[in-house]
Amino acid sequence: MPPKPNLDAVLERLEQLYGPQKAIGPNDPYEMIVFVNCGYPATDVSCSKGFEALKREVGLKPENLLDAPKAKLAKLMRLGGIVPELRAEKLKEIAKMVKEQFGTDLLAALKKCMLEEKKQSGKGVRGAKNVLQKFPVIGEPGAEKILLFSKLAPVAAVPSACIEVPTRIWFGDSGKNYAADYRTARELLNAGLPEIFEARQRAYLLLKKHGQEICKRSSPKCEICPVTSQCAYCQSKAADINAE
């Protein structure tokens, strides 16, 4: 069995190809939740269009969203993709939750959760994730991304739409269970990266970019991939061809 690819080497090759990556969108937890609900399908482009229109025409504060007519929110959400009426409702729901449950200051509530991390490792992160996962469309991957990019906790988040990238490179292919694949990829990054925000944000953004550009979910472009020589998926494909 060939050795597992070196994480540092893989990330270095990806950065040589794509250059240093920068996160798109806000880095405040509440605004990150609003951002991801502003587009559907939720790409950086679609979410940015809806978010910028919302920021410009209505404002982002919970009271702005609660006061805005739902029809106006739906009109703005059309800029970010399909089901605009549903996303307008979700914006209202988000604003109501933040106002009623967190006194309009979600960041303060999450920081309070993270104080528990000093008492027991993992407890603060779990508490903050539980809070975030109450919001529309925020699952565990989204919650961990928010914690990482808002610099609340240097968790080893994995880009949710590109989970196949690390699983292909290190294990040959993704499995049939998304949650299990996510945990496996997270454990890989957690073991291979220093527990600092910069390193883990860099890994997240480079793996995401690779999934968008080359290591696509349905049709990976292995012929132009810069990490083919280290990729377990490519090696297994080559072995299958040689065996025929």
Same domain, 133 and 227: no
Same domain, 135 and 188: no
Same domain, 145 and 102: yes
Same domain, 143 and 180: no
Backbone angles phi, psi at 145, to 5 degrees: -60, -45
Q: Within a domain: residue 2?
A: no
Q: Within a domain: residue 228?
A: yes
SS3 state at 139:
coil
Tokens of 179: 């949650």
For the entire predicted model, the pTM comes to 0.94
Q: Within a domain: residue 207?
A: yes
Q: Within a domain: residue 183?
A: yes
Q: Within a domain: residue 36?
A: yes
CB under 8 Å to 177, separation ≥6 — which residues?
none
DSSP 3: P
Q: For the stretch 61-70, what's the b/e string if a residue is b when 16 or more beta carbons lie within 10 angstroms of its beta carbon?
A: ebeebeebee
Q: For residue 86, what are the domain limits?
A: 29-149
Note the helical H segments in 103-177: 106-114, 123-132, 140-149, 164-171
Q: Which parts of the chain sit beneath pLDDT 50? A: 243-244
The pLDDT of residue 175: 72
CATH number at residue 199: 1.10.1670.10
The pLDDT of residue 243: 47
Total structural domains within the chain? 2
Same domain, 136 and 206: no
Same domain, 69 and 144: yes
SS3 state at 161:
helix
Q: Within a domain: residue 1?
A: no
List pLDDT tens digits, range 121-147: 899 999 999 999 999 999 999 999 999
The pLDDT of residue 180: 92
Q: Within a domain: residue 138?
A: yes
Which of 149, 178, 205 is the last residue in one of the domains? 149
Ramachandran sector of residue 153 (left: φ over 0; alpha: ψ -120 to 50; beta: rest):
beta
Same domain, 14 and 95: no
Which of 116, 149, 182 is the last residue in one of the domains? 149
Same domain, 54 and 166: no
Which of 97, 114, 149 is the last residue in one of the domains? 149
CATH number at residue 39: 1.10.340.30
> Which of 124, 138, 177 is closest to 30 using CA atoms?
138
Same domain, 133 and 195: no
Same domain, 114 and 173: no
Report the chain's terminal Cα–Cα distance, integer Å.
19
Same domain, 18 and 36: no
> Which of 132, 156, 103 is closest to 36 using CA atoms?
132
The pLDDT of residue 8: 95
Same domain, 130 and 203: no
Tokens of 78: 């059309």
List pLDDT tens digits, range 223-239: 999 999 889 999 887 66
List pLDDT tens digits, range 147-168: 999 999 999 999 999 999 999 9
